[in-house]
Each structure stands twice: as structure tokens, then as C-alpha cells.
Amino acid sequence: MKGVIFNLLERVVTDEFGADIWDDLIDEAGVSGAYSSLGNYADEDIEALVAAAAAKTGQTRAQVLHWFGVHAMPLLRELYPSLFDPHATSQDFVLSVNEMIHPEVRKLYPDAVCPFFHVRRNGDNAVSLQYESQRDMIDLAHGFLDGAAVVYGDKVAVEKPGGASDRLDASWTR
């Protein structure tokens, strides 16, 4: 996992709960806590931090990942406006993930392992996203979808049909 993800997690936790809580999560997770945005870190570190956050807040892993995605998206826009500015809506942004966003991420972080989304349009304002990744973080992707809607001022309804672990259905309204 790229260090920038750890940096984002630290920032959203610190912004919402304070630096002491971040320090507590580092201790409880048993990780170093020193993450460079350009570095690569074991997926187990992010999983340990998410598990520590879930235990501390009484939420599930899925809820913590979703919360993180929602709150990280505005920060990503701050850090990388060029990824967001070409798009008028969150739907446009989401539909560009495979062809524009993730290639740009790989330019910034050449060894990044990005998920891939198989996209099927279900009308003008609805899509199904089949999530393909070595990581089980569809709930983070769900949070990113909801966070992108906030960034663009859109409304999106996202569902995991039948409790799917690899698919999100999203529909947008203005």
C-alpha cells in the first residue's frame, strides 16, 4: 500500500479525533507510524490500523473503510486538483478512474497497485462497477464514490447488490 494512503488516514483521523487518537491507533495496531507518501508499506499495516480504529469506535471494518474513503476524497482533491478539475460531475470522475485517474496515480507512484473497475452503464445516470483488486477494500471504494459526490456537489446512491463483495451499483441525481 502506498504511503500516501497512510498519510490520508492519519490526516482524517487527526482532523476528526485528534493527534492523540492517531497515536493510540498506531500503538494498538503495532505499526511504526512513520509513512512517507512515496513509500510502499505492507497491506497488513493498513489492515491493522483499520482493525484498531474499528475496535476503538465500535464500528465494523467496512464502516471504517467507508468513513475513510468519504473523508479522504476532499483531501485528495486538495492534493491532486489536476485529477479532479477536468470533470464536471462525480459520475464523470468515477467513469475516468480506469482510463485517466489510475494511470495518473501510476505516474506519481510508479509501483502503485490500483484496483480495476469493470464498468457497465445502466442508463444515463447509473452504473455497475465490478471491483477487481488483490485487496478486499470495496468499502473504501464505496466511500470514495460517496466522497466524490460530496466534492462535486452531487447526489449518488450506492448499493452492494445482495451484499456483494466485489460490486457496487451507483446512480446519480442532481
pLDDT at residue number 174: 65
**In the chain, which stretches have pLDDT less than 50?**
none
Cα dihedral 80→49→26→12 (10° resolution): 40
pLDDT at residue number 77: 95
Task: Tell me if 104 sits within 8 A of 83, measured CB to CB.
Answer: yes
pLDDT at residue number 40: 84
| 34 vs 88: CA distance, rounded Å | 36
pLDDT at residue number 118: 86
Q: What is the pTM of this model?
A: 0.91
For residue range 57-73, what is the model confidence (pLDDT) as tens digits? Answer: 999 999 999 999 999 99
Domain boundaries, the chain: 3-58, 86-173
Residue 77 phi, psi dihedral angles, 5° rounding: -65, -40
| 50 vs 31: CA distance, rounded Å | 12
pLDDT at residue number 71: 98
Rounded alpha-carbon distances, angstroms, from residue 166 to 4, 101, 115: 24, 20, 11
pLDDT at residue number 156: 94
Report domain 86-173's class. Answer: alpha beta
